[in-house]
Amino acid sequence: MSKYISLYGNSPTAGGTDGTALSEGGAQTAPLSVMLDATKAESTIIKCAIRCAAGYTTTGTTTITPIGTNAAEWTIAADAGDSTATPADAAGYSYHSSLSIDSDIAATNKIFWLKAASGTGEAPQRDVSVGLAVSATVNAV
């Protein structure tokens, strides 16, 4: 977990401080994990959050981008602001190769959605090549 800003999985609550901090720097101690059947060209949607540590906030634009060898198979969408949204609801959101958040991020969860997809030509694999890069300016409150 970063000292100033971190990403969270395990179905975090909008505006809350719950969720599981995702591992950083390739540690794989608490990775975001999905299982897909490439023969079916499956996809899955995962609810995630970003938040600052207590006493800190972002200013300006924060960008979250999937990076790595197979990053093109991951897309990201902003939450529509519905605190009860499910992955099925999020299926209709607009997904892109990166997400820019223009509002300040404080010490409570700001929800976003990740979509992972497989292609029909893929062989079974354990792929740990994709990470999430966060670019933000964090300031003390």
Q: Are strands 20-21 and 56-67 parallel, antiparallel or unpaired?
A: unpaired
Say how far apart CA 83 and CA 68 lie, in whole Å: 31
Look at residue 1 in the predicted model and tell me its pLDDT.
59
Lowest mean pLDDT among 41-50, 112-121, 131-140: 112-121
Would you say residue 7 has pLDDT above 80? yes
Strands of the sheet with 56-67, listed across from one edge = 99-101, 56-67, 131-140
Residues paired with 58 in a beta bridge: 138
Q: What is the pLDDT of residues 15-55, one digit of tens each?
A: 999 999 999 988 888 889 999 988 888 999 999 999 999 99
- Contact present, 75 and 95 (Cβ < 8 Å): yes
What is the per-residue pLDDT for 38?
A: 81
Q: Is the pLDDT of residue 98 over 80?
A: yes
Give domain limits for the chain.
Answer: 5-140
112, 14 contact by CB (below 8 A): no
Query: Could you tell me the pTM of the whole model?
Result: 0.93
- Residue 48 contacts residue 7 (beta carbons within 8 Å): yes
- Which tens digits make up the pLDDT trace of 68-97? 999 999 999 999 988 888 999 999 999 999
Q: Which fold has domain 5-140?
A: Immunoglobulin-like (2.60.40)
